[in-house]
A and B are shown apart, each in its own frame.
Chain A
């Protein structure tokens, strides 16, 4: 779901002064302070990897949204806004909210009650070791890759904005992430994400306010963009009829099925970097509310990234084309430079750096959990005392950060390869959701069907993208549109193969499925509701459906 930041234009150097650097320095000190202060709460491996399953819902909920709100996401979505206009809302209202609500209302009871500590561990309980090992290894590898790409993106932005050499930015940011996660574990990562959430709001809101005033308010903004880019630019669905041409290269069907269903559900419900935040909540009700609480800010964050993108499209009409130095990704840095005086500028720089570090930290803190619990403790060094795995977890965190620093340096010399690898890995996410949904709702789905569903779905999505689309067998206008179609193909292929394999192989004994699959009895797994959780505003169903209705209502002004 995240696009790597391409090289920023020259000449974006910000006029930072001592005040801005003081604000930045205070933030870095607080980040480290949180790590040290969280240290004394880490006694067991569960404390280190899952905060002892004891955090309140509002904390895990804000961390859930912040873990996704990395800087590559912020700059990338502003770029999408500058390029495609209001259509960027699809990535939020249809491409995130339904999946987050589904995770909270439908899937979380199976995840949380079964006490699995990671997403791959669920696959081990539900299917078999081959599905488990495949998804663990791929996840660990992809997490390091994404952390490295994040770090590389940070170094480009920091070099352009502040003038630090790339290697300095990579080493400094890597060191801070290393320190606060190794010392304080997931609690430290989550607390920093909550803090980052508020700092990034404080950075984006002033940009939107001043930006809107500069282009004459929302009316001025839509007036000039409709004149320069056509009426469809300011609508969500304009030009998405099947067969119509639009810049996104996708029609309403591929948007709903590909982005809204397959890609979004795969990312939000099975990506451990997200699900981990919910698994660290203190009880089932809090775990269910984690993605639901996250859904409400998520609905409105799109305005904070879309408005800077649109404003940049007005102020720099040639943005992203050969006629301009600025690429689409420069939208937010450009507005920071043009509009923010010292002071707020320091907050904005801090927010951007915080978002880069949080995006990296979310991947590192999920990587270390999967590597320790799912790979090391299950296949390499088994059955040792808990203290050993805690120590190992700290060690692998350090190794993981060093590996992502290495990845960032590789990326700085071979950025094309990294982009290619990211596309490649995005296809491993596609069949995850089909395997989960069939595994959770069909008792009969056999032990072996899991791994074959994963392999078939990934394979089909890749064949569709790299052969059928890239070789021009069928004509899809853009990479984005092809991505959506590939996701649908992968989903269908995964489902067909799972059903076929199930018909010929043995099911898992029903006793082993208790609490993992819909319709199984799970005696002893029910927990009494905590005090206060029966309040109406803590009802998962109300929160979930409320978010869906709100997201649907948000579409109304942009649909007609």
Chain B
């Protein structure tokens, strides 16, 4: 076994990322729910100028709802499949 192999394996044993790093799904979910709400509200009563500009598509409403759905998808995924607890013993996870 090479020296590099031992050195990196040793570092992997001491590494704290697996145990301590938060789950990104929470951040994506949170940000997109917030963005979704903001943009949807902007699209609830669009001005004629805005509609005209966007070829009569209420783009704020649709984009807002889509972002909201994406945010809820990530939060739902996190809820259904929570972050697996870090492996402690060899027979765990």
> Are A338 and B31 within 8 A (Cβ)?
no
Query: Which residue on A lies nearest to B12, using beta carbons?
Result: A53
User: With the chains together, A195 CA to B21 CA distance in Å?
Assistant: 16
Chain B residues positioned under 8 Å from A37 (CB to CB): 22
Chain A residues positioned under 8 Å from B93 (CB to CB): 531
User: With the chains together, A280 CA to B63 CA distance in Å?
Assistant: 33
User: With the chains together, A342 CA to B38 CA distance in Å?
Assistant: 11
CB contact between B35 and one of A23, A33, A114, A209 (< 8 Å): that residue: A23
Which of A125, A209, A524: most chain B CB closer than 10 A? A209
Which of A47, A117, A343, A514: most chain B CB closer than 10 A? A343
CB contact between B55 and one of A198, A339, A343 (< 8 Å): that residue: A339
> Are A282 and B18 within 8 A (Cβ)?
yes
Chain B residues positioned under 8 Å from A209 (CB to CB): 57, 59
Which of B15, B16, B38, B57: most chain A CB closer than 10 A? B15
Pick out which of these stretches binds chain B: A38-46, A167-175, A323-331. Answer: A38-46
> Are B55 and A44 within 8 A (Cβ)?
no
Nearest-Cβ distance from residue A309 to partner chain B, whole angstroms: 18
Query: Which residue on A lies nearest to B32, using beta carbons?
Result: A198
Given A194-B24, A195-B24, does the pair A347, B35 have CB atoms closer than 8 Å?
Answer: yes
Number of interface residues of A (CB under 8 A): 57
Given A53-B12, A202-B67, A531-B93, does the pair A191, B59 have CB atoms closer than 8 Å?
Answer: no
Chain B residues positioned under 8 Å from A23 (CB to CB): 35, 38-39
Query: Which residue on B lies nearest to A197, using beta carbons?
Result: B28
Number of interface residues of B (CB under 8 A): 46
Q: Map CB proximity to B onto A27-43 as digits: 1 under 8 Å, 0 otherwise.
A: 10010011001101111
User: With the chains together, A274 CA to B22 CA distance in Å?
Assistant: 23
Query: Which residue on B lies nearest to A40, using beta carbons?
Result: B20
Is B78 in the interface zone, CB < 8 Å from A? no
Query: Which residue on B lies nearest to A201, using beta carbons?
Result: B70
CB contact between B27 and one of A52, A116, A195 (< 8 Å): that residue: A195
Chain A residues positioned under 8 Å from B14 (CB to CB): 43-44, 46, 386
> Are B11 and A512 within 8 A (Cβ)?
no
Query: Which residue on A lies nearest to B83, using beta carbons?
Result: A56
> Are A41 and B20 within 8 A (Cβ)?
yes
> Are A347 and B59 within 8 A (Cβ)?
no
Chain A residues positioned under 8 Å from B53 (CB to CB): 338-341
Chain B residues positioned under 8 Å from A347 (CB to CB): 35, 39, 63, 67
> Are B38 and A43 within 8 A (Cβ)?
no
> Are A342 and B50 within 8 A (Cβ)?
yes
> Are A206 and B4 within 8 A (Cβ)?
no
- Near A by CB (< 8 A), chain B positions 24-63 give 24, 27-28, 31-32, 34-35, 38-39, 42-43, 46-47, 49-51, 53-55, 57, 59-60, 62-63
Nearest-Cβ distance from residue A211 to partner chain B, whole angstroms: 9
User: With the chains together, A51 CA to B20 CA distance in Å?
Assistant: 11
CB contact between B28 and one of A114, A198, A524 (< 8 Å): that residue: A198
Is A59 in the interface zone, CB < 8 Å from B? yes
Which of A117, A121, A202: most chain B CB closer than 10 A? A202
Is A187 in the interface zone, CB < 8 Å from B? yes
Nearest-Cβ distance from residue A338 to partner chain B, whole angstroms: 7
Given A22-B38, A53-B12, A210-B57, does the pair A202, B27 have CB atoms closer than 8 Å?
Answer: no
Lowest 10 CB-CB distances: which A-B pairs, in order? A52-B15, A52-B17, A343-B42, A341-B50, A43-B16, A41-B21, A54-B18, A46-B11, A115-B8, A41-B20
- Between A and B, 30 residue pairs with Cβ closer than 8 Å are A26-B34, A34-B27, A41-B21, A41-B22, A43-B16, A43-B20, A44-B11, A46-B8, A47-B17, A52-B12, A54-B18, A55-B17, A114-B4, A115-B8, A187-B17, A198-B32, A209-B59, A210-B55, A213-B55, A340-B54, A341-B42, A341-B49, A341-B50, A341-B53, A341-B59, A342-B50, A343-B60, A344-B54, A344-B63, A514-B2
